[in-house]
Amino acid sequence: MDRRDFFKATMAAGVAASVGMATAQGAAKSNAPKFKLKYGPHFGMFRSSAGNDPLDQLQFAADQGFTAWEDNGMGRKAPDLQEKIGKKMQQLGMTMGVFVTGLGSLIKPPGEVKDGVIKSAKNAIEIAKRVNATWTTVVPGRYSERMEMAYQTANVVDNLRFAAEVLEPAGLVMVLESLNWWANHPGLFLTKIPQAYQICRAVNSPSCKILDDLYHQQISEGNLIPNMEKAWSEIGYIQVGDNPGRKEPTTGEINYRNIFKWLHDVKKYDGVIGMEHGNSQKGIEGDKAVIAAYRACDDF
C-alpha cells in the first residue's frame, strides 16, 4: 500500500471515531483522545460544525482532541472578547499559539521607524496578557529595489533588537515568518529559513525566533527536515499546510506523518503546530476531513 492509499484508508476508518455528531448549532462531544502534538486550528476552520460563536469553536476543537489554537487576527478583536477567549482556552487546557503583530517596514533605517516598532511591541504585550500568548508573528515587510540587501538586513536586525528589548521582560516571543514569493507573497524581504536564522542569530534574543511555516518553505526551498535541523536552535514555532493548494495534510505532496513523527520522536517538540491552511472540502464534511487528516498524520 503506498502512502496516499494508506492515508485514505486511515482517514476513512477514523472519521466516525474522531468526529461526533455535529450541527450548525453546536456539536456533541466526541470524547476523542488528545493528539500527540499540539496542533492549533484557527477561528472559522470548524464553523460548519460548531457555529459562529468563537467560544463554541474552541469547545468543539477541544472535544475533538486539539490542545492548541492560533488566530492571526486576534489583535483586531475587541479586548473583552480577547479576555473571554483567553479564559475559555484556560478552562479547556488549550495553549494559545500565534497572533500577528505588525511592526511596520523593518527594512527602513531605525531612526524612521523605532518609535512605531516600540509602540507596536507594547501593544502586542497587552494582547498577549489577555489571551495567555507566548508567540506573536512578525513579518519584516517588502524588500527595497533601491537599497542593497545587506543594508536592509542590518536595518531589520537593529529594529528587531528594539522590539526584543520591550518584549523580553514580558516573556513574549516574536517569531519571524519567511513567506514564499511564487504562490502567495511576491516581493517580501524574508523568504527562506537560512535568512531568518541569520537574522535571529544577529538579534541574539530569546524574544526573536523563527516561525517555520512548512507550506511556504516547501515552495521556497524544500528540504524541510534538514533545514529544520540546521535552524533548530532558532525555531520557536511551526505552521503547516500541504502543497499545492494550502489545505490540510494528505491533500498534497508533503509527508506530514513523517515530519510529525520526527518532531515528536527526534526533537521532542512540545510547542504549537499551527494549522495555517484552509479546508479542502466545504461544510461539515470538510471539518471531518481536516480532523481525519490530522488523525492519520498523528498515527505514528
Q: For 103-111, what is the mean pLDDT?
A: 97
Query: Which domain does 206 fall in, by range?
Result: 34-297
Does residue 25 form part of some domain? no
Does residue 19 form part of some domain? no
Does residue 127 form part of some domain? yes
Of the pLDDT bands very low, low, confident and very high (cuts 50, 70, 90), residue 202 is very high
Residue 16 has pLDDT above 70, yes or no: no
Question: Chain-wide mean pLDDT for the chain?
Answer: 93
Does residue 154 form part of some domain? yes
Q: How far apart are CA 228 and CA 191, in angstroms?
A: 15
Q: For 98-108, what is the mean pLDDT?
A: 98
Question: Which residues are 211's β-sheet partners?
Answer: 177, 237
Residue 12 has pLDDT above 50, yes or no: no
Q: For 249-266, what is the mean pLDDT?
A: 98
Q: Which residues 6+ apart lie within 8 Å of 234 measured at CB? A: 196, 197, 200, 201, 209, 210
Say which amino acid occupies 227.
N
Q: Which helix (H) or strand (E) holds 40?
A: strand 38-40
Instruction: Give residue-wise pLDDT tens across range 188-197.
Output: 999 999 999 9
Residue 22 has pLDDT above 90, yes or no: no
3-state secondary structure of 278: coil
Q: What angle do CA 180, 191, 261 make, to 5 degrees?
A: 75
Please provide the DSSP assignment of 177-227 as one string: EP--TTTT-TTBS---HHHHHHHHHHH--TTEEEEEEHHHHHHHT--HHHH
Of the pLDDT bands very low, low, confident and very high (cuts 50, 70, 90), residue 30 is low
Does residue 115 form part of some domain? yes
Residue 141 has pLDDT above 60, yes or no: yes
Closest by CA to 274, choosing from 96, 22, 114, 35, is: 96
Q: Using an 8 Å Cβ cutoff, are 242 and 249 in contact?
A: yes
Which pLDDT score is estimated for 29?
57
What's the domain count of the chain?
A: 1
The CATH number linked to 105 is 3.20.20.150
Which pLDDT score is estimated for 25?
38
Residue 254: HSE in the Cβ half-sphere, 13 Å Cα cutoff? 27
Which pLDDT score is estimated for 223?
97
Characterise 132 by phi-psi region: left (phi > 0), alpha (psi -120 to 50), beta (else): left
Query: Among positive and negative, which fits the CA dihedral 110, 115, 118, 124?
Result: negative
Greater pLDDT, 163 or 24: 163
Residue 294 has pLDDT above 90, yes or no: yes
Q: How far apart are CA 210 and CA 231, in angstroms?
A: 9
Does residue 109 form part of some domain? yes
Query: Terminus-to-terminus CA distance in the chain, angstroms?
Result: 16
Residue 7 has pLDDT above 50, yes or no: no
CA dihedral 163, 166, 167, 169 (to 10 degrees): 150
Does residue 162 form part of some domain? yes
**Worst-scoring range by mean pLDDT, 1-5, 55-59, 143-147, 243-247?**
1-5
Greater pLDDT, 43 or 18: 43
Which pLDDT score is estimated for 5?
52
Percent of the chain with pLDDT over 70: 90
Does residue 6 form part of some domain? no
